[in-house]
Amino acid sequence: MRSRYAWLLVCAATAAAAEPRPDEFAYAVPVQIDVAQALHRLEIPLSAYEGATRPDLGDLRVFNGAGEPVPYAFMPRPAPGSEAAAPRPLRYFPLRGPSGIAPEALRIRAQRSADGTVVRVTIADGAPPRSGAALVGYLVDASAVEQPLAAIELDWHSADDLTGSLRVEGSDDLARWTTLAAAAPLVSLRFGGERLEQKSVELPAVRYKYLRLSWPAQQAPIELTALQGRPRDVRIEPERRWKTVAARTAGEPGEYLFDLGGRLPVDRLRIGLPRPNTLASVQVLARNGDDQPWGTICTGVLYRLQRDGAEIVNPDLAVAGSGWRFWLLRVDQKGGGIGQGEPTLEAGWVPQQLVFVARGDLPFQLAYGNAVAQPAAFPIATVVPGWRSDEELTAAPATAGAQRDLAGARALRAPIDYKTWALWGSLVLAVAVLGWMAWQLTRQMRPPKT
């Protein structure tokens, strides 16, 4: 096969992206370290969230005094924990009546002291319980325990073995009772020098001011010597940072816009209502730019009410920490919305920390804000060999200073990728040349005209 034109254009381009230098980042904060330590732990400052171009902070770097990047890794955010609550002694009062009578047949009246504690129990028409009457149960004052009880722990005269059951009911007014445990087993047995005991009763997670303890009529009375309540474990939230921003009206009645100034990993919102005695149903939406539609994050009811000289407000709104910058509060206008004035927004997030290796000379700095930088963080187990999530990280604390400009806003704009355009141009030209060569070859292979 002959060809009048025997040439082919082939273009191959490979670009190895060099690690950015400090002067290619928009901003930086100085980092103070302990020179005697190798590993340092740094809380990522608010300015880094506001100045980074990537929501995953992939354009963040730690540089030493020579401008060299040093290895670093992100530490997992701390999760909520729990703390066991100490048992609380509970005051209890015997309920006595005719033998065989059920406790619910007794009319109980409680006399309270100034601090709200039950100090005297009367039955029926105000007559105190007779000492010779049968013991049919106990009234327990649990009003001083603010958390719901996880269990009650009993102790009684244990000279003899005991096997039986206990009924536990709860009430807030001594008139209406709810069953919390219908027949909880109680055991105290001795055998062969060993002792088997079951003296606690598990309760559902509901708080009541009063408890009523009773047992079946055919069961021997339980003469208590002590009674304790074990509150449920206290949930411990990780420490959060908060940023407060003012609202801007968004055009439609009842819509308020908030700009956080950066893509913060927000997981809690506090919305301050401008006037007391306000209640409104709201919808919270978010997005990252004007070119995106609003997405619903959560709905809820906001309130700010005065009661008995104290102000009661709604709890924080829990939201997914997905790094939204712009937030929209849409208030249902039924009942007048929130009235005059504008709300405020407090955005809370659990700050992330990074751990880095202090290699090289001082000073160190944390740089961020680069439109083309790719993530460079190592896994935490690489930077901290032997790291375990259930152990405290051994790393010296580092502190960040005030932000200063490096390249400024110029580094936030993605530059024109001439190499990519050249590659695509070369590929298009190569395809055109191949097409032209195929056409020429087809012409040559046609039989000559006779």
Cα separation, 199 vs 197, in Å, equals 6
Q: Is 128 inside any structural domain?
A: yes
Tell me, yes or no, whether 97 and 145 share the same domain: yes
Last-in-domain residue among 198, 217, 235: 235
The pLDDT of residue 8 is: 26
The pLDDT of residue 91 is: 92
Tell me, yes or no, whether 363 and 344 share the same domain: no
Q: Is 354 inside any structural domain?
A: no
What's the number of domains the chain is made of?
4
Q: How confident is the model at residue 446 (pLDDT cuts 50, 70, 90)?
A: low
Tell me, yes or no, whether 326 and 370 share the same domain: no
Tell me, yes or no, whether 208 and 246 share the same domain: no
Last-in-domain residue among 349, 379, 403: 349
Q: Give the CA-trace dihedral at 258, 259, 265, 268, to 10 degrees.
A: -20
* Mean pLDDT for the chain overall: 85
User: Considering the chain, what percentage of its residues have pLDDT values greater than 90?
Assistant: 53
Judged by DSSP in three states, 47 sits in: helix
Tell me, yes or no, whether 107 and 224 share the same domain: yes
Task: End-to-end CA distance of the chain: give it in Å, rounded.
Answer: 22
pLDDT, average across residues 214-239: 89
Q: Is 124 inside any structural domain?
A: yes
Query: Which residues span the domain enclosing 392?
Result: 22-77+359-412
The pLDDT of residue 42 is: 96
Higher pLDDT, 148 or 434: 148
Judged by DSSP in three states, 423 sits in: helix
**Would you mind telling me the total number of residues written for the chain in this entry?**
450
The pLDDT of residue 284 is: 96
Does the pLDDT of residue 294 top 50, yes or no?
yes
Tell me, yes or no, whether 268 and 303 share the same domain: yes
Q: What is the pLDDT of residues 103-130, one digit of tens each?
A: 777 777 777 776 666 656 666 555 555 5
Tell me, yes or no, whether 176 and 275 share the same domain: no
Tell me, yes or no, whether 201 and 340 share the same domain: no
Cα separation, 156 vs 32, in Å, equals 61
Residue closest to 266 by CA, chosen among 256, 258, 275: 258
The pLDDT of residue 5 is: 30
Question: Per mean pLDDT, which range of 120-129, 163-172, 234-243 is the poorest?
Answer: 120-129
Residue closest to 303 by CA, chosen among 326, 337, 329, 342: 337
List residues bridging with 326 in a β-sheet. Answer: 259, 287
Does the pLDDT of residue 4 top 50, yes or no?
no
Q: How confident is the model at residue 14 (pLDDT cuts 50, 70, 90)?
A: very low
Six-digit token pair at 207?
């708080």
Q: How confident is the model at residue 10 (pLDDT cuts 50, 70, 90)?
A: very low
The pLDDT of residue 181 is: 94
Q: Between the CA of residue 139 and those of 90, 135, 210, 213, what are the distances in Å? A: 10, 12, 7, 7
DSSP for 187-219, please give it: EEEEETTEEEEE-EEE--S---SEEEEE--TTS
Does the pLDDT of residue 182 top 80, yes or no?
yes
Does the pLDDT of residue 331 top 80, yes or no?
yes
Query: Contacts for 10-18 with beta carbons within 8 Å, 24 or more apart?
Result: 10/430, 11/423, 11/426, 11/427, 11/429, 11/430, 13/419, 13/422, 13/423, 13/426, 15/419, 17/372, 17/374
The pLDDT of residue 9 is: 26
Does the pLDDT of residue 313 top 70, yes or no?
yes
Tell me, yes or no, whether 170 and 226 share the same domain: yes
The rounded Cα 202 to chain-centroid distance in angstroms is: 28
Last-in-domain residue among 324, 349, 374: 349
Q: What is the pLDDT of residues 35-68, one digit of tens each?
A: 889 999 999 999 999 999 998 999 999 999 999 9
The pLDDT of residue 119 is: 58
Q: Is 3 inside any structural domain?
A: no
The pLDDT of residue 418 is: 56
Cα separation, 437 vs 4, in Å, equals 10
The pLDDT of residue 188 is: 87
The pLDDT of residue 428 is: 77
Q: What is the pLDDT of residues 389-421, one digit of tens each?
A: 777 788 899 999 999 999 998 888 766 555 666
Tell me, yes or no, whether 117 and 215 share the same domain: yes
pLDDT, average across residues 338-366: 94
Does the pLDDT of residue 315 top 50, yes or no?
yes
Q: Is 197 inside any structural domain?
A: yes
Tell me, yes or no, whether 149 and 57 share the same domain: no
Q: What is the DSSP letter of 412?
A: G
The pLDDT of residue 17 is: 45
pTM: 0.67
Cα separation, 447 vs 441, in Å, equals 12
| Cβ contact 262:323 at 8 Å | no
Q: How confident is the model at residue 236 (pLDDT cuts 50, 70, 90)?
A: confident
Q: Is 1 inside any structural domain?
A: no
pLDDT, average across residues 185-202: 85
Tell me, yes or no, whether 159 and 283 share the same domain: no
What string of H, E and C letters represents the secondary structure of 295-335?
EEEEEEEEEEEEECCEEEECCCEECCCCCCCEEEEEECCHH
The pLDDT of residue 132 is: 59
Q: Is 14 inside any structural domain?
A: no
Q: Is 211 inside any structural domain?
A: yes
CATH of the domain at 189: 2.60.120.260
